[in-house]
A = this chain, B = another copy of it.
Amino acid sequence: MDSMADPLDIDVPVRWTDLDAYGHVNNAAMVRLLEEARIAAFWQPPPEQIALGAPPPPAALPVGGAGAAVSTVIASQRIEYARSLEHRFDGVVVRLWLSRIGGASLSVDYLVLTRDDPAGEAPYASARTVVVLVDAETGAPVRLPAASREQLEQLRGEPLSFRD
């Protein structure tokens, strides 16, 4: 695709408890799958965990989990479901890219796919999260550093359009 240089494909395992009693991945669980993909894409594991096999993050945002100086806040999230997802031992593939790179925020667009659909033709869900970088102490927005910005440009792609 011209317009989407390099979306990332992140494998995310589905847990048995992601399903609800309808036998489908519950909509709140789908939000967790997106979150795990986003963390794998953007958070920095400590070096000693990378040494132990944690995948180094493909994009270099200066953020991490508890204890990091910069943390992320979700400003908004939207998701559309195309069909229901059942338990899959092979997990899902979350394809993600950046549909907007702002001063202190990013719009992450996603397709939730399975491994038998590398072309992304029949996504289970499509979604967008607006993430804001904030100072973990004060909560004030933190500007994306120039170095991150350059790397993030590699992930820039066309925005999804949503029905509702």
Number of copies: 4
Asked if A54 and B88 make an inter-chain contact with CB atoms under 8 angstroms apart, the answer reads yes
Asked if A163 and B16 make an inter-chain contact with CB atoms under 8 angstroms apart, the answer reads no
The interface bits of chain A over 23-61 (1 if a CB of B lies within 8 angstroms of the residue's CB, else 0) are: 110111101100110010001011011101111000000
Q: Which of A1-9, A65-73, A141-149, A150-158 participates in binding chain B?
A: A65-73
Asked if A116 CB lies within 8 Å of chain B CBs, one says yes
Of the candidates A35, A86, A90, the one having the most CB atoms from chain B within 10 angstroms of its own CB is A90
Asked if A43 and B89 make an inter-chain contact with CB atoms under 8 angstroms apart, the answer reads yes
Neighbour of A31 across the interface among B31, B36, B71, B107, CB < 8 A: B31
Asked if A140 CB lies within 8 Å of chain B CBs, one says no
Asked if A101 CB lies within 8 Å of chain B CBs, one says no
Asked if A53 and B90 make an inter-chain contact with CB atoms under 8 angstroms apart, the answer reads yes
A164 to B, closest residue via Cβ: B76
Which of chain B's residues have a CB closer than 8 A to the CB of A49? 88-90
A115 to B28 CA separation, bound complex (whole angstroms) = 24
Which of chain B's residues have a CB closer than 8 A to the CB of A91? 54
Asked if A76 and B66 make an inter-chain contact with CB atoms under 8 angstroms apart, the answer reads no
The interface bits of chain A over 83-103 (1 if a CB of B lies within 8 angstroms of the residue's CB, else 0) are: 010111111000000000000
